Amino acid sequence: MVKRIVVIGSGAAGLTAASAAKRVDPEAEVTVITEDEYIAYSPCVIPWVLDGRITWDDIIMHDASYYSKERDINVLTRTKVTNADANSRTVTASGKVYGYDSLIIATGGTVFIPPVSGIGLKNVFTVRRLNDGKKIEKAMKDSKKVVIAGGGVIGLEMALSMRNNGKDVTVVEMLDQVIPRIADKDMAGVAQDHLSAYGVKFALNAPLRSINGTDSVKSITAGDETYECDMVILATGVRANLEIPKMLDLDIGILGGVSVSQSMRPYRNGKEVENIFAAGDVVQCESAVATGPTMSQLGSTAVKQGIVAGKNAGGGNSVSGTVASPWVSVIGNIHIAGTGLSENLAAWYGIRTISGKAKGYTKARYYPGGKELMVKIVANADTQTMIGAQLIAGEDATGRINWLTEAVVNRTKAEDFLARAENAYCPPTSMVRDVVISAAEDLCRNLKKVIQ
């Protein structure tokens, strides 16, 4: 019998899952159902489209007909799933009933809308889907003053994009630093200073209280101040879309995502459900560094989980390990990156930390064109394992944060990392001793408070 696999959602997790399922079981009948108009694009690139580096057409890799012709996958766009039933193993979309043998939930997340007045005013935008970007692009033409609500990575990338378009830009953030939670204040401060040099203004400790105006937005109030503006972009975090999981009575975890096992299967009343899978921004999964769950909500994680969910839906036996969620953002001339827990976030989990830091360059000290590089590594003070890292560099942050992630996901003790880690060296590409290793040495010193 031909296996029927239904995928709900056409983001990174959904489409990757569909393709992976088809590779494992080429005979399977795979159907992707999505409300979206555009599929197979990278929402992460919207800031760079808006500042003119790339076109919308460039970032849309495939359309539904590509999936149909090239991969024998049926993608239904602009189609809303209105019901999902685990007993009859069916989903209903646009009035039609689809039976499934395996169901993959990749419904992603939606921008959290703060509970303030004025959200519905003209020129108040979220930034999540391609059409959000197109709306901003259109409104940008007549805009002079933009407020970005939320100083996370997306907020900062959008702030610089708007600044590069000549706008007057203010970022309002309710906490006392930018990139809260995933970065520590010492590192985030460098990113903030860098953006300030571009002319972006910041209001910290300034929770959004209201968006003001009658038809179109005229100002916002954040903290005790009011900021004039003619456009607001909400970069206020993402919440999982739980409508479908709730219809299927799946367990929702304490972080607000669908709890999944390492095979990407959800739970119902604490028991793993065999023929349903969930992947991407809708799930919470086992943390590599803390006892308990974590929510990744990154495109890279969505792809990784989508592959595992798809393989297993197709009859495979694949697992996705615990999650450290490495991230990187390019903000002007710096790359800021992190993995695992910041000291901030570790404190939230109740974990005592000790950190080490080092500064240096991306090339040999004397080699022309080298960029500054700053690395911080965070260890659990009790177990002495590396639980996170952050770095800021003028270039080449990504490979280094992946390197540190490998140590974090393997729960490596700091002294073992220092003893074993090696770095490749060539004057045009690194210092003879990479700054990552120097930071590990500082960490070990701080852990032991004796030089040895």
Residue numbers 288-347 binding its own copies by CB under 8 A: 288, 298-301, 303-304, 307, 311, 316-330, 335, 337, 339
> Minimum CB separation from its own copies for residue 321, in Å?
4
Site for its own copies in 15-34 (CB under 8 A): 23-24
Mapped onto helix, strand or coil, the DSSP state of residue 421 is coil
Residue 59 contacts its own copies per CB under 8 A: yes
Indicate which single residue of 437, 439, 440, 447 sits in contact with its own copies (rule: CB under 8 A).
437
Write the DSSP symbol of residue 317.
-
Cβ–Cβ under 8 Å, residues 221 and 212: yes
Residue closer to its own copies (CB basis): 166 or 427 = 427
Mapped onto helix, strand or coil, the DSSP state of residue 417 is helix
Nearest to 353 by CA among 342, 364, 337: 342
Residue 165 contacts its own copies per CB under 8 A: no
Indicate which single residue of 77, 165, 226, 402 sits in contact with its own copies (rule: CB under 8 A).
402
Residue 69 contacts its own copies per CB under 8 A: no
User: How many angstroms separate the CA atoms of 232 and 174, rounded?
Assistant: 15
Cβ–Cβ under 8 Å, residues 229 and 236: no
Residue 397 contacts its own copies per CB under 8 A: yes
> Minimum CB separation from its own copies for residue 142, in Å?
28
Cα R_g (the chain), whole angstroms? 23
Site for its own copies in 251-270 (CB under 8 A): 262
Query: Tokens at residue 182, please?
Result: 């995933």
Cβ–Cβ under 8 Å, residues 127 and 154: yes
> End-to-end CA distance of the chain, in Å?
65
Please state the φ and ψ torsions of residue 149, each to the nearest 5 degrees. -95, 110
Residue closer to its own copies (CB basis): 241 or 438 = 438
Q: Is 285 a catalytic residue?
A: no
> Minimum CB separation from its own copies for residue 315, in Å?
9
Residue 413 contacts its own copies per CB under 8 A: no
Cβ–Cβ under 8 Å, residues 75 and 97: no
Q: Exactly one of 44, 285, 426, 444 is catalytic; name it.
A: 44
Indicate which single residue of 343, 430, 439, 442 sits in contact with its own copies (rule: CB under 8 A).
430
Catalytic residues: 44
